[in-house]
Amino acid sequence: MGMLLRKQWLGFLIMMVGLAGCGLVEAPEQLPIPTPVATAVSFDASQFPAGEMVIDPVSDVVPRIDPHIAGLVDSVSQQQLTGYVQTMQSFGNRNVFSVTDDPNFGIGATRQWLVDEFTRVGNGRLQVNIQEFPIFYNGLATTPYNVVATLPGRTESQDIIVVMAHYDNRAPEPTDGETYAPGANDNGSGIALLLETARLLSSFEWNQTIVFLAAAAEEQGTFGSRHFVQTAFLEGTNIIAAINYDAVGGRSGIPQYARLFAYDLTASPAGELARYYEYVAGLYVPQFPVQVINALDREGRWGDHREFVNAGMPGIRVIESVEDPDMVNSRTDTWDRIDYNYLQQVVQMNVAVVANLAGAPQTPQTPLIQALDSPGDFWLRWQTDPDAAGYAISFRPITEGSFTTFRFVRGSQAGNVALTGMDPNTAYAVSVTALDENGRLGDFTPEVIVEPNSASAQAP
C-alpha cells in the first residue's frame, strides 16, 4: 500500500490488452506481487540509554467509532439510492457504442447526468472532470469518457483513495447500443453508491484525497479503468486503496452480507486493503458482515479493480452475496428487483471505510523491525507524525487472512518500542498505522515479514 516502483510495471502496462468486461471470457494471468521481507537480527538492547526505548507500551488510543463518521453512516438515504438507480435505468442503454447526442437516451446522456449530479452533490468541493480514451473493439471504434470527481485532501499528503463503479452496461450483444438494457443492479447500484457517498463525504474536509471514478467501457474489457490506472501510474499517483463496487444492489431473500474479493489475500496489497475493509466495516456496520474471498474475482469473471491489481496497486471488489445469472445483461435487471435496505448497508460500509482512510493521519513510514535476544520479542522503529494520537501495530500470522493481534502505542511513546510475548515459533507479517484522537484508523504500511526467532526455529 505504499508508492509504486514505476519502472517495474511500465512495460507491463503498455502491453496490456483488453478482453471483456462482465462477460465470461477467461481473465488474464496475474503477475505475482512480491512482499517486503525483513530478516530478524539479534542485538544488544543495553546499547540504548534508559528511557529511549519504550517496552510494551499501553495506550488508550484505539480504533473506535468516530461520532462524525457515524453520523454520515446513519445519513445514507434509501430514497436517494432508489432515485439514482431509477435514473440510471431510464437511459435505456448505456453501452459505449450507444448514441452520444441524445439528451435522454444512451451513454452520452448518462455521462452528462453524472457530471451534473456530481457537481450538484459536491458541496462546492468536488472537482468534476471527464477523461477520454479510445476503444477499438470487434471492428468498431469509439471514444468513451470516464467521469472523475475529486475531493481534494486538506493536507500535503499525496495519498489517493479511489472509489469506483462502472456506469456503462450492455445487452447480450456487447456492441449493441440500441436494445433496451436497464442495468439497474449491474451497475446502477454501484453508481448510486458512488453518488450517495460523494454527497455525504463532500460535507466535510478530509486529510487524504478521495477520487470517485465512474468508469466507462468496463463491459468490453475494463478499458476505462485501465486508462485511469495508466494515467495515474505515469503521473506517479500514490493510490493507497481502490475499491470497486459492481452489482451491489441485492435482492429480497438473499443472505445479508457482501462478498469481498482480494487477490492473493495473505501476501498482497489487495489483501491488506481487504483486511482493513473487513475490520472497519465491522466496527461501524456489524450487522452486515463481509465475506472475504481469496481470489481476484469470481471464476472467469472480473471487474475494474483488476486493472489496479495488475499494476501492483491495492484493489478489491465488493459484490452482493448471491447473484442471479438470469439477470446479467438482461431486460430483467430492473430497479424494482433491488433490495434498497441491502444496498443502503453496502453504502454505509463504504462511507465508514473511506471516511476512516481519508480522515486519519497519513500512512506512516514502514518500520524497521529487528528481533530481541529473547524469543518472541521484537524492536520496532519508525518516524512518528505529530498529527497522530497513537499507532496500531498488527502482528498477523502469515497464514491468517484477517487481523488477529494489535498492539497500541500512544503518539508520545511511539517510534522506538519493544514488544514482547509474541509466539516465537510463528512467522508474522507486521504493519503499522496511525490513529487520530477520535479513533479513526489510517492506512497500514506495507507488511514486513518477520521469521520465527525461537531457538528451535533457528536451529539448523
Q: Dump pLDDT digits (tens) for 425-439.
A: 999 999 999 999 999
Length of the chain: 460
Bridge pairing between strands 290-294 and 258-262: parallel
Going from the C-alpha of 235 to that of each of 21, 209, 281, 310, the distances in angstroms are 26, 15, 31, 17
Mean pLDDT for 406-430 is: 95
Per cent of the chain over pLDDT 70 is 87
What stretch of H or E contains 292? strand 290-294
Going from the C-alpha of 220 to that of each of 166, 176, 208, 444, 447, the distances in angstroms are 11, 11, 32, 34, 35
Between CA 66 and CA 77, with CA 72 as vertex, the angle to 5 degrees is 155
Residue 405: the pLDDT is 86
Residue 4: the pLDDT is 37
Between CA 148 and CA 154, with CA 152 as vertex, the angle to 5 degrees is 170
- Joined together, the cell numbers standing for residue 304 give 475494474
Region of 73 on the Ramachandran plot (φ > 0 left; ψ -120 to 50 alpha; else beta): alpha
Q: Dump pLDDT digits (tens) for 69-125.
A: 999 999 999 999 999 999 999 999 999 999 999 999 999 999 999 999 999 999 999
Q: Dump pLDDT digits (tens) for 276-321.
A: 999 999 999 999 999 999 999 999 888 999 999 999 999 999 999 9
Residue 33: the pLDDT is 42
pLDDT over 70 at 38, yes or no: no
Residue 94: the pLDDT is 98
The pLDDT confidence band at residue 23, using thresholds 50, 70 and 90, is very low
Residue 52: the pLDDT is 76
Residue 22: the pLDDT is 53
> What residue has cell string 460535507?
203
* pTM across the whole model: 0.89
Mean pLDDT for 244-249 is: 98
Mean pLDDT for 364-383 is: 94
Q: Dump pLDDT digits (tens) for 396-406.
A: 999 999 998 89
Q: Dump pLDDT digits (tens) for 205-234.
A: 999 999 999 999 999 999 999 999 999 999
* CA dihedral (196, 198, 204, 206) positive or negative: positive
Mean pLDDT for 264-273 is: 96
DSSP 435-447: E-TT--B-PPPPP
Residue 302: the pLDDT is 83
pLDDT over 70 at 455, yes or no: no
**If we measure between CA atoms, which residue out of 408, 447, 108, 47 comes closest to residue 274?**
447
CB 401 within 8 A of CB 295: no
- Joined together, the cell numbers standing for residue 229 give 490506472
CB 265 within 8 A of CB 294: yes
Query: 373 versus 22: which is more confidently predicted?
Result: 373
Residue 395: the pLDDT is 96
- The dihedrals phi and psi of 274, each to the nearest 5 degrees, come to -60, -45
> What residue has cell string 470497486?
244
Name the average pLDDT for the chain.
Answer: 89
- Joined together, the cell numbers standing for residue 47 give 546499547
Mean pLDDT for 59-73 is: 97
- Name the amino acid, one letter, at 7: K
Q: Dump pLDDT digits (tens) for 153-201.
A: 998 888 999 999 999 999 999 999 999 999 999 999 999 999 999 999 9
> What residue has cell string 445487452?
171
Q: How far apart are CA 401 and CA 298, in angstroms?
A: 18
Q: Dump pLDDT digits (tens) for 122-151.
A: 999 999 999 999 999 999 999 999 999 999
- The dihedrals phi and psi of 210, each to the nearest 5 degrees, come to -115, 130
The pLDDT confidence band at residue 8, using thresholds 50, 70 and 90, is very low
pLDDT over 50 at 20, yes or no: no
3-class secondary-structure state, position 338: coil
Domains and CATH numbers, the chain: 32-61+363-458 (2.60.40.10), 67-359 (3.40.630.10)
Residue 239: the pLDDT is 97
**If we measure between CA atoms, which residue out of 362, 280, 212 comes closest to residue 70?**
280
- Name the amino acid, one letter, at 338: I
